Structure 1
Amino acid sequence: MTDTSRFPPGLLFREDGHVTDWVLSALVDGEEALLSAEATAHVDSCEECGARLGAMAHGVFALEAEVQEWAKAERARAPFPMVAFGMVGLGLVLGSVGFAVMRGDEWRELPHRALTLWRWAKALVPWLFERMPVLPMVAWGLSVLLIVAVGLAFVARELSKQERLS
């Protein structure tokens, strides 16, 4: 490690001879490589700096525990909505079917078809999700199967074309 990757001497020690909070923060973060051997030796031998290091580490770990508790409470309060998975699945199904069916000049009708599908989806989706809460998972599973089936059909078609050419 070069000297430019270490703390400059002015950041290591205070005027009273003890290490700065920068040094203690680097030690708490496990960044001893940024410090000089003199600064780490001082923290090891000085009771006041050792106590400051302990207090800083305690504060960091206490804050980490509080953040973890808060995150756990937030996940319990607002889990990811299953409707989002259903909408993604529905989009995958519609997109896969649309691309599998399109050929020739039919792509010009795609905006009209998409608008029609959007209108139907806006009308039907709230009604379906109120009555069938498992629908998003089923739609996602079917969309994955459909995508795999379309992909396999495409690969089989390409392989048969190559066999005919050779």
Structure 2
Amino acid sequence: YELPQPFWVLATQNPLFQSGTYALPESQLDRFLMRLSLGYPSRQAEKLLLQQRSRQVLIHQLDAVFNQADILHLRELAKQVFLSEAVLNYILDLAAETRKLRHGLSTRGVLALKAAAQAYALVEGRGFVMTDDVQAVFIAVVAHRLSLSEHEVGQILQSVDVL
């Protein structure tokens, strides 16, 4: 089936070993661009949830920040953000470092890291990617693909020399 664009899948993850949940296979984890932790809502936000008869009421009170055309335009702009040879080599060095582990970063993961760094640079108002941008998105893009803790992925990041 052809899906409308943009098309996103958002998923939640329950704590490991919680009854009724199963870890996704690596091939499926690799298809998620990032894993982000939002933490718990503030006390005030959680109280508002408790006071509502339906959670859907809150969703309908939100104002859209972007429309479909805006999102598609930003997606195209992000693809145009420049990556120097040095930054590309840095991404490849990081990938090579992960591949010293049992399961290293896949090519799909390397492409995701590049795309996320480009989007991050765009949000930061630049038309080029810096190694800082790669570092800013590295843990979110890589940790779930390698089934490592954020700390372990941070160690990989620290072990590769920045150009």
User: How would you bin the TM-score normalised by the shorter chain?
Assistant: under 0.3
> Larger relative CO (CA 8 A, sep 6+): 1 or 2?
2
TM-score w.r.t. length of structure 1:
0.25
Tell which structure's C-alpha radius of gyration is larger: 1
